[in-house]
Structures are given as structure tokens and as C-alpha cells.
A and B are shown apart, each in its own frame.
Chain A
Amino acid sequence: MTQLIPQIPSGMAEALLPEVALARPENLDPGDEFRYSQAITQPTGGLPITDVHLKQLREPIVISARKYGFPGSRPSSFLDFELEVAETLAQWSPLWKAQGQPSGEALRNDCWTFITVVVLPDVALWRWPAKTDEDEPGGRSWKGRMVGGTRNTFQRIFRRVMCLDRGMDHPDRWGLIRQLQEDDFSAILERPGLSSNREIAVCLGEEYLAMKQRLSELSAAVRQDVYRQATKAIRAYGVVQPLDLMPAGNRTRLIQDAFRRYEDELTAVPPSTPDPIASIGTETEPQPGSSRKQVRKSFLRRLLDGG
């Protein structure tokens, strides 16, 4: 039987957020009852979730947060904390059905608003403190962390779990979530055409990590550029060859090739060029070697030729 998580439509959440924004995290502890009179439940069968279940989500996340300074201080990086949250979300049964498939409730943005604003408002505010502006407490960007959606405090971590799970049988199941950085997650998960299918997202994440290792001596900006160009090419492929349907081996090869070809293009810039990496991204000025545009053109031509 599905456990129904209450939902707060974004319009209603808007009215609630100024109060959260102006509070201190330690004053937002909801106690043992997770109620909000405006919360609704869709008429979709199932049974309303109990406070006991909601507590089973809240408690381990609060314990994790305390390890990282909650509520009084904040760590320099939240990656380890968010990995622990990911592991908690992976085990919280209302989000999952048989064979590790996410439940319908887990895919509802308004449920995540409830989880954030009613079940874990103190942790959410600690993670994403509000800028207290008199006219609009919190601001638009902060609201995106509270209301369900791609940037929501906990829903974004749930998406990492849903999309980057290497599988129950993998010896390092959450390795991708542990090793990827904040910007990497954004780069992968904010392209739903690639990331909404777990098999593609995992493959992309693995290659992204491998590329970062191969190019570890270059700057993060260069690696990001390689990733951006490679994913552009992969998506171009996707127009004629649906990645969803490719045999796993072919898909892995295609993604690897896309990364490596662009990396090769970088290293193939003539040695006479004073600084091959510096030349990338300055296409408005005359280049002594291959310009970025030329590199891309040549790369795309190779892709379309299938060679």
C-alpha cells in the first residue's frame, strides 16, 4: 500500500516561507507532529503517512546534520552531509516501491515542499540560510531550495539517489554520489534528457569522473568545457539514436568516445600555440592554432560522419 506524503502546492508554500526565512534553525524544530493545515493529499489511493514514518526520515537526517555543526555552525563543504542524507533517503520506504523503483509520491514536487518546510525546516534553513531582505525575506533563489523542484534542498539529493545509484549489487553503490562535486551534480542532473534515465546518468557520471581524472592537471573550467561539449554531442546523437534504447555496451562506448574525442581535439592543437588551454574560450580574438569554433566544427563533423 502506497504511503501518501502530504503536499503543499507552491502557491500555498509561498505564504509559509517568510516565516521560515526569518526564523533561526533551532527555533524551527517541528517536534513530534508534522502538521500543516493547508497541506493536501491527492485522491490517489494509498494511506496517509503517519508521523512515525516521517520521524524515521527526520531523525537520522538531524543526527547527520549535528555531526556537521547543526544548528550553530556550518561546515566548509556539505558534500559528506549530503551523502549521508542520500543514504537515508535511499532507505526511507515511502519513497520506494518494489525493485528499487521510486514511488509516485517521490516524484511529486509538492511532497518535497512538505518534507522540506514541515518535516525538516530547521535543517533546510541551516543548509541554505535565507538572506533576510525586509521586502522579500529569503529571495527567489532561496525559495527554490524550499519549494519542490530541481533545486529543492532534499529533492535534489533524492535525484542523485534515483539517477546515480550504481545498483544494489555494486560494491561501491553510492560511489558516484561520494565522488562527484556540487557543480558536477548540477551539470549531470540539470539535463533531464540525459539524466532522467538512471542507466544513462550512471554511465555519464562514470565517464565524467574518469575524464576528471584524465585531465586532473587542467583547470576545472577546461574540464567543464570538455563535459559541456561532450554532452552536446551526446545529445546530438540522441536525436537519431535514442540513448534509452541502446545496448549498455554501445551506450558506454558512445559516451566514452564523445568525451575522448573532444579531449583529443584539445591535445591536438598545434604545439606552436603558446597556451593551448588558454586559447579555448577566446574565439572572438584571432587564434594562432585551432579556434574553439573550428575545434567544435571538426568534432561535430566527425560525429556526423560516424567515424
Chain B
Amino acid sequence: MSRIAFPYPTLFPHVRQQGCWEASIDGNQRLFREGSGSWDYDCHLEVGCRLPWTPVTLFEQADLGPLLDGARLAVVISTGSSEGTGRRFVATDLPVRDCLPDDDGEGTTVRINLESACLCNRIKACLYIYSAGGEIAGINLLSGSILYREEATLQLEGDLGSFPIRSLGFSSHNLGSGLWLVDCQAESPEDPLISSVVLLLNSDRPEFIEQLQSESEQTGILRWAIRSDVMASALSWLLLNDELSFDVNLEWPDGSLGAIAIGWLSSLGVNRQAALQQLIEEMRREPGRFRQRCQSACALSAEDAP
């Protein structure tokens, strides 16, 4: 198919490295692969893609100089619960000539502002460089022909800050009088975290819920305790359940329990299968020590935040 689709000269073979996608959420910078943290509908969201090359240089390297003046760069955004029910729109579309080099002169950064209240779940950003038409090497290019394309996904929800939270009367559900419960249910590490983990807050303890809501997101002690408990509970559930066959070396879908677990494990210094086995052993023999390490990892995240 690709031979039919791209029978003309393009920039693809000359791009050695894809762009680095990052989001600025209320001024906090995060790489796309790290998720969005505390994104919500009221956040100011700016998406940036730092291309490690300048379009002018790239066009020269690819011998496509004659197409440069008519070339355009665009970013198309998709968002929604699923492709079939979501929406897609053009976020920016500008002449390539207008993409100025960064101050270091080694790359170009494309930035777009998005209306958070019109997004949900995740955004898929697709960057295009396309031609307004022209002739190159005797080949007549149609207007709109793609010269380069890459895409990246930012998970807006489904990470540590955004699993479902429900209040429930514990006493009427035979759960005693605790404060909270992390409920994990998944059939596979591929299942979305958002539907695999629910944090239940005991509505019989309104003072607890009130205190939790009034705490600062970054420095609240209760929030810290709950964050680390969510991490410890979900990891224990995932790793101690043989039927789920989790592998730290595999790539799991964005927003899945497996993908989130990879991030959590990385914050515990576990990046290989051998280290994972040691951690599982520790979970079984010294669960208290494991939970303390989760607290430590969550505290680091909170302290790092401005």
C-alpha cells in the first residue's frame, strides 16, 4: 500500500528522529508519554512538538527545495472516548516558511493552544507537512500531498490523578468503617486503568471526604497517602495475579493498566523482568516495605511538582 500511496518524493526518508511531544498544563511541562497528571476542563493546555530539524534544512537535504514555498505544516487533533464517537479538527495550519528555528538553531517547535473543556479521555495529535502542489523531479504533485506525517497521543485521563472516585456508605455495604477502599478489577493489563481501578470513599465519614477535598493536590498528606495506596494496591493486584501475565518488557496500550504500571514500576527503579521478579518477591515477603517504597515514589512526584 505504501508504494502506491507514496509514489512521489517525500521527506520521510530524511527524518532521522521524530518530534518530541510535550504538554504544558497550567504551566507545568510534561512529556506526552508521562500522561497529563492533573489535567481538567479548566486547565490551560498548550501542546508543543519540538522537531529536531528545521523544515528549511530538511527540504534541502531531501532535494525538495522547489516545494518549500508552497509547503504547509498542520496539526490535526482527535479526541473522545473512542474513534467512532469522537471528533477531529485542525488545530493549526501554517506555511512551513513561518515555522521559525528555535533559539539554538537546531530545531523548530510548533505550539498550539487547546480548549480543555472540549476534550476528554485523550488527544491524538497528528502533524503533517504537506505540499500545496508543484513539480519535482518531473513528478506533478497534487495539492495537499503529504510530505511528512507523525503522530503522538496524550492521555488526559486514566493516570494516577484521574481514576474514577465514588463515595459509598461502607456500613451499608458490609465494608465496616474504614476511610477508603481501592477496588481493582481487570481481565488483562491491556484494560484501561480508568475502568480497572475505582477509589471508594466512605460516605459515612463526611469529615474525611471534606478534608480530602480541601487539601492541596500537590502537598496534601491525605492525598499522598491515597495516591500511594492506589499505586500499591493496583500493582499488587496486577503483579500477584498470575492469570494477568504482565511483562515489563512489553509495550501496553496508552492509558491501560499495563502502561500505567510500567510508569509506576519505573519510579520504583524496576525496568527489567529480573528486577520485577525481585519486587514480586518483596511484595509477598515484606508487603510493608513495598508499600513504603510506593509512598516514597509518590512523595517524590509531589515534591517535584512546582
- Contact across chains for A148 and B118 when beta carbons are under 8 A apart: no
- Contact across chains for A245 and B87 when beta carbons are under 8 A apart: no
A-B contact pairs, 9 of them (CB 8 A): A38-B166, A44-B41, A45-B43, A46-B117, A103-B117, A149-B85, A192-B88, A197-B88, A197-B89
Q: Contacts A101-B115, A104-B120: A192 and B144 contacting too (C-beta < 8 A)?
A: no
- Contact across chains for A105 and B5 when beta carbons are under 8 A apart: no
A64-103 near B? 1/0 per residue, CB < 8 Å? 0000000000000000000000000000000001100111
Q: Contacts A107-B80, A107-B120: A245 and B41 contacting too (C-beta < 8 A)?
A: no
Considering only residues 266-307 of chain A, those with a C-beta below 8 Å from chain B are 304, 306
**Interface-central residue, B40, B117, B157, by most chain A CB under 10 Å:** B117
A40-56 near B? 1/0 per residue, CB < 8 Å? 10111110000000000
- Contact across chains for A149 and B43 when beta carbons are under 8 A apart: no
Minimum CB–CB distance for A300 against chain B, Å: 9
Considering only residues 1-43 of chain B, those with a C-beta below 8 Å from chain A are 1, 4-6, 39-43
Expressed in whole angstroms, the Cα–Cα distance for A2 and B115 within the complex equals 12
Is A229 close to B, CB under 8 A?
Answer: no
Number of interface residues of A (CB under 8 A): 48
- Contact across chains for B86 and A110 when beta carbons are under 8 A apart: no
Q: Contacts A9-B195, A40-B165, A44-B162: A196 and B117 contacting too (C-beta < 8 A)?
A: no
- Excluding A104-B118, A244-B76, 14 further A-B contacts by CB distance (< 8 Å) are A38-B166, A43-B162, A45-B40, A102-B87, A102-B118, A104-B79, A105-B120, A109-B81, A110-B81, A163-B87, A240-B146, A241-B145, A245-B93, A250-B144
B61-97 near A? 1/0 per residue, CB < 8 Å? 0000000000010101011111111111110010000
Is A11 close to B, CB under 8 A?
Answer: yes
- Contact across chains for B144 and A245 when beta carbons are under 8 A apart: yes
Residues in A neighbouring B86, C-beta threshold 8 A:
107, 192, 196
- Contact across chains for B74 and A245 when beta carbons are under 8 A apart: yes
Residues in A neighbouring B166, C-beta threshold 8 A:
38, 40
A173-204 near B? 1/0 per residue, CB < 8 Å? 00000000000000000101000111000000
Minimum CB–CB distance for B169 against chain A, Å: 9
Residue of B87, B115, B146, B168 near A197 (CB, 8 A) is B87
Is B178 close to A, CB under 8 A?
Answer: no
- Contact across chains for A148 and B81 when beta carbons are under 8 A apart: yes
- Contact across chains for B82 and A149 when beta carbons are under 8 A apart: yes
Is B130 close to A, CB under 8 A?
Answer: yes
Is B292 close to A, CB under 8 A?
Answer: no
Residues in B neighbouring A1, C-beta threshold 8 A:
42
- Contact across chains for A149 and B76 when beta carbons are under 8 A apart: no
Considering only residues 228-271 of chain A, those with a C-beta below 8 Å from chain B are 239-242, 244-247, 250
Considering only residues 21-46 of chain A, those with a C-beta below 8 Å from chain B are 37-38, 40, 42-46
Please give me the residue from chain B that is nearest to A112 by CB atom.
Answer: B85
Please give me the residue from chain B that is nearest to A242 by CB atom.
Answer: B128
Is B119 close to A, CB under 8 A?
Answer: yes
Please give me the residue from chain A that is nearest to B4 by CB atom.
Answer: A304
Minimum CB–CB distance for A2 against chain B, Å: 4
Minimum CB–CB distance for B124 against chain A, Å: 11
- Contact across chains for A198 and B41 when beta carbons are under 8 A apart: no
Residue of B78, B87, B143, B165 near A250 (CB, 8 A) is B143
Is B161 close to A, CB under 8 A?
Answer: yes
Is B164 close to A, CB under 8 A?
Answer: yes
Is A159 close to B, CB under 8 A?
Answer: yes
- Contact across chains for B85 and A109 when beta carbons are under 8 A apart: yes
- Contact across chains for B85 and A159 when beta carbons are under 8 A apart: yes
Residues in B neighbouring A11, C-beta threshold 8 A:
185, 195
Please give me the residue from chain B that is nearest to A1 by CB atom.
Answer: B42
Residues in B neighbouring A38, C-beta threshold 8 A:
166
Minimum CB–CB distance for B83 against chain A, Å: 5
- Contact across chains for A196 and B115 when beta carbons are under 8 A apart: no
Is A214 close to B, CB under 8 A?
Answer: no
Minimum CB–CB distance for A196 against chain B, Å: 4
Please give me the residue from chain A that is nearest to B80 by CB atom.
Answer: A107
Residue of B76, B90, B144, B162 near A241 (CB, 8 A) is B144
Please give me the residue from chain A that is nearest to B130 by CB atom.
Answer: A245
Residues in B neighbouring A98, C-beta threshold 8 A:
115
Is A108 close to B, CB under 8 A?
Answer: yes
Minimum CB–CB distance for A60 against chain B, Å: 23
Residue of A44, A155, A196, A304 near B87 (CB, 8 A) is A196
Expressed in whole angstroms, the Cα–Cα distance for A43 and B40 within the complex equals 7
Expressed in whole angstroms, the Cα–Cα distance for A192 and B115 within the complex equals 22
B255-279 near A? 1/0 per residue, CB < 8 Å? 0000000000000000000000000
- Contact across chains for B83 and A192 when beta carbons are under 8 A apart: yes
Please give me the residue from chain B that is nearest to A45 by CB atom.
Answer: B40
- Contact across chains for B162 and A245 when beta carbons are under 8 A apart: no
**Interface-central residue, A102, A105, A196, by most chain B CB under 10 Å:** A196
Residues in A neighbouring B164, C-beta threshold 8 A:
7, 9, 40, 42
